[in-house]
Amino acid sequence: MEIIATILLVIGIVGLIAQALIGLCFFISCIWEKEKRASVFAGLQFLGMFIVLIVYLYLIGIGFVKTNLGLALLIAMYIFASLAAFLLMKKTAPNPKALKGTKGLIAGDVKRQDEREIVFARNRSLIPGSDQYKAFYREYPEYEAYDTKRRELGGPLGHPGTIDRPYEGPNVAATLASASIPMHLSTPNAFNPQPHPELKGKKFDLNPEEATERVKGYARNRGADLVGITEINPLWVYSNRGEIFHENWENWGKEIKVEHKYAIVFATEMSFEMVGTGPHSPTMIESMGNYAQGAYIATQLAHFIANLGYSATASHLRHYDSLMVPLAVDAGLGELGRLGYLITKELGPRVRLGAVSTDLPLIPDKPMDIGVEDFCWICKKCAVCCPSNSIPLEKDQTIVGGLLRWKLNAETCFEYWGKIGTDCNICMRVCPWSHARTFPHRIILELITKNRLARRLFSIMDDIFYGKKPKVKSIPKWAQFNAGIMD
């Protein structure tokens, strides 16, 4: 009996020390994240755990824990702790829809998206008075009033940096430095390359396993943080060309053929620090920097595959053949979130996507279930924080265009971008999946990707620690638009 009591006491000490250390890690993590509110709560939490440890040691010291009452309380505490751990760590039933990728979202007739209809193409490519302008609004008159008004605000980012005026200048310069890179890489021989003459037309005979390893390794080596492969579902290929960047108007409205069987889809991480400044101008530097990096990776990967003797087309900011998010879902990079972005396990929605389509035989990845749909049902933080009310607050998704999803209002979101002169990114910043991947957040992530109860618990904890409307984070010195304005 004496030995059992001693073992129980030691387990208690080890458990409480481990708990206090995790609390301390979380406190340090919050300070590193520069989260004032979370640091205060994490500090209080650590203090509470530390006091419990001291009280426990004191009770051992005075012999209380070895009394009948003390032992009964100790056993009750173990039962409670074991039950809580079991309930939080048990793997709950998978989401069959998520495991099917985008096929799990199809709930009706889905038509291929016409690229001419997306807000960017309407804003950027339709020049008032041009033949394309007249042809488009003859076919889609419902867009004309909105588009005319939106054009008065300027291009996709309005007048860049408006929200930070009169201090936006250097940040706009940094943004535009990156924006020009995808433009340089969007000529046909850049996005759809020919093999290098040095290779004399050789076609390499690679088996799919080896080809997959080589293209994934190359993409990672070039800077991709996540890489997946999917067989292309033709539904996600645009039906007609709508974005024109090099005065090649003969392509406007042209049918986009589904030429390749596979897509290599990749994601690059957006800096936690820069996204944390959204909607201010540093977040737009980060978005454009990632688009430039995506164009660089996609172009090199397409050239690599062309040199292997296969056809390949790069998709990036200035040349998309397909919708990136559905391809990424099918390639097993993550799930579609309420905010309309892909949510990955590794980096949450803090990513930008690029892809290369090809006829090189590859091995596709499987879609993943990380519990995003279930988390988004309870969370809604992006919808609550969205300044233009563009993200639906209703719990359930609706069927839009044959797909079961939360329908982002692209028009109101885009109008807000035009007013503030950045791409906002508030929804990305506040999403609980966007936290820096510090040790405590990795533990939380492991729990919420597997367990429903953990999703509920940590959604509430996120509101407590970070607030229902998390604050903008401090801005790196080099990207400040007005020192001290955010304090």
| Interface positions with ligand SF4 (CB under 6 A) | 337-339, 375-376, 379-382, 386-388, 390-391, 408, 413, 416, 424-427, 430-433
In the complex, least distance from residue 414 CB atom to ligand SF4, rounded to whole angstroms: 8
For ligand SF4, which is the closer residue by CB, 23 or 160? 160
Tokens of 378: 């309870």
Residue 107 has, within 13 A of its CA and on its CB side, a CA count of: 10
In the complex, least distance from residue 429 CB atom to ligand SF4, rounded to whole angstroms: 8
Where are the alpha helices (H) located in 269-380, listed in sequence order? 272-275, 281-307, 324-330, 372-378
User: Would you say 233 and 262 are in contact if contact means Cβ atoms under 8 Å apart?
Assistant: no
Amino acid at site 19? Q
Q: What is the DSSP string of 320-382?
A: -SB-HHHHHHHTTSEEE-TTSSEEETTTBT-EEEEEEEE-S---PPPP---SHHHHHHH--HH
Strand ranges of the sheet holding 262-269, from the earlier edge strand across to the other edge: 226-231, 262-269, 351-358, 312-315
For ligand SF4, which is the closer residue by CB, 42 or 391? 391
In the complex, least distance from residue 378 CB atom to ligand SF4, rounded to whole angstroms: 8
In the complex, least distance from residue 288 CB atom to ligand SF4, rounded to whole angstroms: 15
For ligand SF4, which is the closer residue by CB, 230 or 425? 425
Q: Which residues contact 137 (CB under 8 A, 6 or more apart)?
A: 143, 144
Tokens of 210: 């080896």
In the complex, least distance from residue 385 CB atom to ligand SF4, rounded to whole angstroms: 6
In the complex, least distance from residue 2 CB atom to ligand SF4, rounded to whole angstroms: 51
For ligand SF4, which is the closer residue by CB, 303 or 473? 473
Coil vs helix vs strand at 351: strand
For ligand SF4, which is the closer residue by CB, 27 or 416? 416
Query: Can you tell me the distance from the alpha carbon of 483 to that of 487, in angstroms, rounded to the nearest whole number?
Result: 9
In the complex, least distance from residue 275 CB atom to ligand SF4, rounded to whole angstroms: 11
In the complex, least distance from residue 161 CB atom to ligand SF4, rounded to whole angstroms: 16
Residues 346-365 as b or e (16 or more Cβ within 10 Å = b): bbbbbbbbbbbbbebebebb
Region label for 485, one of left (φ > 0), alpha (ψ between -120 and 50) or beta (otherwise)? alpha
For ligand SF4, which is the closer residue by CB, 289 or 337? 337
For ligand SF4, which is the closer residue by CB, 53 or 444? 444
Tokens of 225: 């943080």
For ligand SF4, which is the closer residue by CB, 253 or 279? 279
In the beta sheet, which residues pair with residue 334?
344
Q: Which residue has the tokens 């340089």?
A: 184
Q: Which residue has the tokens 């589904």?
A: 258
